[in-house]
Chain A
Amino acid sequence: MNELTVLMHLLSKRVNVSQIGSTQEEILNALNVKDKNRAIYFQNIIRNLSNYLELLGLEIRFNPLNSYWYISFDPETTELLSSNPFEGNPRLAATLFSTLISCFTSSGETTIQKVKEIRKKKGVLEDLKELKHMGFVNLERNLNKVSLTPLVGYLVDLEKLFLKIALKLKD
Chain B
Amino acid sequence: MEINDFSEELNKKIECIKTKVLSGEISLLDIELASIFENLKDSLNIYNINNYSITYKSAFQLLSQKFEELKIFLSYLDNKDKFLAFLKTNPKDTEIFQLFEDCWRNPFTIDVLSLKFLKYSTDRLATKKEEPLVFKPIDKMEIKENFLLELPSERFTEKMLAFYEKIKNRLPCLYDEIYEDEHDQLRVFENFVFLLHLLQLGKIKYQKETNFLYL
Contacts and interface: CB of A to CB of B under 8 A. Distances in A.
B118 A5 contact: yes
15 contacts: A1-B119, A8-B110, A72-B107, A73-B105, A84-B101, A90-B97, A93-B100, A118-B87, A154-B107, A155-B105, A157-B105, A160-B102, A161-B100, A165-B99, A166-B77
Q: In the complex, which of the residues A14, A93, A157 has the most CB atoms of chain B within 10 Å of its own CB atom? A: A93
Contact of A166 (B76, B100, B115): B76
B32 to A, nearest CB: 15
A13 interface: yes
Interface in B63-112: 73, 76-77, 80-88, 90, 93-94, 96-97, 99-111
B113 interface: yes
A138 B71 CA distance: 34
Given A164-B103, A170-B76, 13 more contacts: A1-B119, A9-B118, A12-B108, A72-B105, A73-B108, A79-B102, A83-B104, A93-B93, A93-B96, A101-B87, A156-B103, A160-B102, A166-B77
B99 A9 contact: no
B127 interface: no
A1 B118 contact: yes
B100 A156 contact: yes
Contacts, number: 129
A9 B97 contact: no
Given A94-B93, A156-B100, A9 B113 contact: yes
Interface of B: 73, 76-77, 80-88, 90, 93-94, 96-97, 99-111, 113-115, 118-119, 122
Contacts of A165: 83, 86, 99
Contact of B107 (A70, A86, A162): A70
A79 B100 CA distance: 12
In this complex, the interface size class of chain A, counting residues with CB under 8 Å from chain B, is 35 or more
B156 to A, nearest CB: 67
A161 B94 contact: no
Interface of A: 1, 5-6, 8-9, 12-14, 20-21, 58, 61, 70-73, 75, 77-79, 81, 83-86, 90-91, 93-94, 97-98, 101, 104-105, 118-120, 154-158, 160-166, 168-170
Contacts of B76: 166, 170
